[in-house]
Amino acid sequence: MMQLLIRNEKDGILVPIPQYPLYSASIALHGGSLVPYYLNESTGWGLEISDVKKQLEDARSRGIDVRALVVINPGNPTGQVLAEENQYDIVKFCKNEGLVLLADEVYQENIYADNKKFHSFKKIVRSLGYGEEDLPLVSYQSVSKGYYGECGKRGGYMEITGFSAPVREQIYKIASVNLCSNITGQILASLVMNPPKASDESYASYKAEKDGILASLARRAKALEVAFSKLEGITCNKAEGAMYLFPQICLPQKAIEAAKAANKAPDAFYALRLLESTGIVVVPGSGFGQVPGTWHFRCTILPQEEKIPAIISRFTVFHETFMAEYRD
């Protein structure tokens, strides 16, 4: 899609910050301009249409032709789930501004908050009465996430709606450049798209395993969220979905200066010290983008559930030691 949308450096794509770095990398690879819009951490990483509009107008004033809006729902690295009314606003905004909506929905099965539900953007578009002529929408799904998590098989798909036949033809041409089909990935994608039905012999065991995996992920997310929120200088939004927490960490000035001396971003300095001390891997927020002057790290909820208490214990000891060492 980036190859299709980006002609030169004057073509821009609106991307959420923090963002999954594949977007910034692919925009750079194809020679386009990333137009950032910041998610609001104080409202649980909410998407504010007013901020998106401000960034759009600012980009246009600099001569950038903004062609698409990326929305990651549930969020990566931020783990939030968009409210349905927010999605209606996003769709109307794209329609009014003539933007392609790129809907990254690969975590759609991963919802942990009781008061949140996943709604596909295609459903939102159709419920507004928009048809094929009204809004170009690309919906992404993957076998790497959800309750199946087959990351190494490289299977997934995008559904394209609202594009004219000649444009669709060009998309198929681009896709066809990869002459060798990924057979195992395609088989897995077909299984994800067509899971066992209630009348099937395997349904009971399938449902038990699926429900067990998702319930375990929800417990792990909650345990880590609670643990982080108890630590000095760390604030953590609720884990509503996806597979991550993205806590903010308020680092002492001495730690920031030590990071500078080591030629590292402060959150990267913290993450490396954590790795060296405990073997725990987190990704510094500076790799995803963040509001200047704030520091974060992304933590997955994927270690086996029985290992979570030990991880929390090791993390807590490290953090307390780190903060004591660099206390101002």
Q: What is the pLDDT along the chain (328 residues), one digit of tens a residue?
A: 999 999 999 999 999 999 989 999 999 999 999 999 999 999 999 999 999 999 999 999 999 999 999 999 999 999 999 999 999 999 999 999 999 999 999 999 999 998 999 999 999 999 999 988 899 999 999 988 888 888 888 888 999 999 999 999 999 988 888 777 788 889 999 998 999 999 999 999 999 999 999 999 999 999 999 999 999 999 999 989 999 999 999 999 999 999 999 999 999 999 999 999 999 999 999 999 999 999 999 999 999 999 999 999 999 999 999 999 999 8
Q: Tell me the C-alpha distance between 115 and 140, whole Å.
A: 24
Q: Tell me the C-alpha distance between 292 and 252, whole Å.
A: 16
Distances (CA, A) of 13 to 34, 60, 137, 265: 5, 12, 14, 26
Burial of 324 (0-12, 13-18, 19+ CB in 10 A): exposed
Q: Fold match between 1-193 and 202-326?
A: no
**Domain 202-326 belongs in CATH node 3.40.50.150:** no
Segments in the chain forming alpha helices (H)? 2-5, 22-29, 49-61, 84-97, 121-127, 165-176, 183-193, 203-229, 253-261, 266-278, 308-325
Closest listed residue to residue 154, CA positions, set 216, 106, 212: 106
Whether omega before 77 lies within 30 degrees of 0, making that bond cis, reads yes
User: What residues have CB less than 8 Å from 114, skipping those under 6 apart?
Assistant: none
Beta carbons of 91 and 252 less than 8 angstroms apart: no
Q: What is the pTM of this model?
A: 0.92
Going from N- to C-terminal start, the domains of the chain cover 1-193, 202-326
Q: Tell me the C-alpha distance between 60 and 132, whole Å.
A: 26
How is residue 40 annotated by DSSP?
Answer: B
Q: Tell me the C-alpha distance between 322 and 316, whole Å.
A: 10
CATH architecture observed for domain 1-193: 3-Layer(aba) Sandwich (3.40)
Q: What is the pLDDT of residue 148?
A: 85
